[in-house]
Amino acid sequence: MIKTDVLVLGGLSGITAGLSSKRHYPDKKVTLVRKEGTVLVPCGIPYIFGTLGSPKNNVIPDGLLESNGIELVKGEVIEVNRKNKLVILQDGQEISYDKLVFATGSLPMIPPIPGVNKKNVYPVRKEFDYLENLVEAMKSVKNLVIIGGGFIGMEFADECRKGRDVNITVVEALPHCLQMAMDDEFCAEAEAKCKEAGVTIMVNSKVKAILGDGTATAVQLSNGVELKADMIILGIGATPNTELAKNAGITLGFNNAIKVDRCMQTYSDPNIFACGDCAEKISFFTGRPSGVMLASIATAEARIAGANLFSPVHQNCGVISVFSTVINGRAFGVAGMTERVARQIGMKIVVSPHEAPDTHPGGMPNSCMTKVKLIFAKDTGVILGGSLSGGKSVGEMVNVLSACIMHKMTANDIVQFQMGTHPALTASPIAYPIVNAACKAVLPIKKSD
């Protein structure tokens, strides 16, 4: 039997939880158990099929664990015995623990579509060998249909076209692709960029069935249209991987995720914590359950869980929801609430847009126009959200907005923001889009006083 102080079950967020616990409690023995031989960077999976070219270029090295004194055990846990504080692996090995962290992640959602289990239909699994086989299978594909126009679907569509002569169609049930994350004008911009790359996008379209005798040959839509397909990718989301926790008697909450408090401690057992996609989320804004699953949220939760194992004092503020992606060279980012969501829940808001080049002057090489839209609470002036599109700088600007939201900054606070600028790297200090959008919001907010 292996004895350990901290036992972590899982991959990406498990690594972060292990590192966090080792930093906060260096004298404790930390052991990580995972089924997968190799851990992939989840957000990098679409890029395996284009930019990266192979799963081998999208892995997290095990040396990260070894260099930080974390023991790795490769195997599948089949039982958690809470009474005796031990886990049992499929090969019969037992590991005893003092504190246990569930970081078992999520599994791809499989929709109840007739024919979904046919050959050539691929959910997006986070498994090295599975994805390597999928890359190989894609070499002979002529007609690719992607079901789901969220981030996974759109990124796959953008990447799978690279270096291939393939017809790609994205089928989305909502009026816009990316609608769950972005406002309509940004969705339309992303769709236009995808279409420019030769991808066909079909919105307001529901899949009725997947056709073919054992092997998928077409996708039938509810309006009767049939799309030829020799490969179908399911990109409609994920579901928490919590079967092991459920069997151990751990209380589950919203969306069958493990119910945790703000310290990431389970409701069921003070010695068991959970983080990442398998753990229940609450909104930063409303305190209500949230279904958002992101690697950035998972690692933030993992850092909190690891820090709290023997002294639970660090608290999770809730899900802000910070997204970014690139579609055909154009970057898109969202932090916090969109205008659509704020209006849906009845908030009185001030919406403030601004555009500016991401260099100064705009004639600098590779300059790109950045579009910013900020959302403020009308009564308080506190920032609720921000959306951006533009060049690479969008990826970090959206993180700046997330920090502003987390610390409940007002439009006046952002107006006083002192930014570092350089002609080749940033927008002009005179026209910095985040600050200028905040400036435009000050007067409309003031009028509500």
Q: How far apart are the first and last CA of the chain?
A: 67
Q: Selecting from 1.20.120.450, 3.40.50.300, 3.30.565.10, 3.30.390.30, what CATH number does the domain 329-442 have?
A: 3.30.390.30
Domain 329-442 in the same topology as domain 2-106+239-308: no
pLDDT digits (tens, 9 = 90+) for 267-309: 999 999 999 999 999 999 999 999 999 999 999 999 999 999 9
Q: How many CA atoms lie within 13 A of 228 on its CB side?
A: 5
The percentage of the chain sitting over the pLDDT mark of 90, rounded to a whole number, equals 94
What is the b/e burial string over 183-200, where b = at least 16 CB atoms within 10 angstroms of the residue's CB? Answer: beebbebbbebbeeeebe
What is the C-alpha separation between 413 and 152, in angstroms, rounded? Answer: 35
Return the pLDDT at 85.
97
Model pTM score: 0.94
- Please identify, in words, the CATH class of the domain defined by 2-106+239-308: alpha beta
Kindly state the average pLDDT of the residues 84-94.
Answer: 96
CB atoms within 10 A of CB 417: 13
pLDDT band at 449 (very low <50, low <70, confident <90, very high): low
CB neighbour list of residue 441: distance below 8 Å, 6 or more residues apart? 350, 352, 374, 376, 381, 411
CB neighbour list of residue 241: distance below 8 Å, 6 or more residues apart? 104, 105, 106, 107, 277, 278
CB neighbour list of residue 379: distance below 8 Å, 6 or more residues apart? 348, 448
With a cut of 70, say whether residue 448 has pLDDT above it: no
The domains of the chain are located at 2-106+239-308, 121-236, 329-442
pLDDT digits (tens, 9 = 90+) for 151-200: 999 999 999 999 999 999 999 999 999 999 999 999 999 999 999 999 99
CATH fold of 121-236: FAD/NAD(P)-binding domain (3.50.50)
pLDDT digits (tens, 9 = 90+) for 25-82: 999 999 999 987 788 998 999 999 999 999 999 998 889 999 999 999 999 999 999 9
CB neighbour list of residue 50: distance below 8 Å, 6 or more residues apart? 158, 159, 160, 161, 162, 163
Tokens 């921000």 found at:
386
Return the pLDDT at 446.
84
pLDDT digits (tens, 9 = 90+) for 10-19: 988 999 999 9
pLDDT band at 107 (very low <50, low <70, confident <90, very high): very high
The percentage of the chain sitting over the pLDDT mark of 70, rounded to a whole number, equals 100
**Selection from 308, 333, 304 nearest residue 317 by Cα:** 304
With a cut of 90, say whether residue 447 has pLDDT above it: no
Q: Are 202 and 169 in contact (CB under 8 A)?
A: yes
Q: Are 305 and 273 in contact (CB under 8 A)?
A: yes
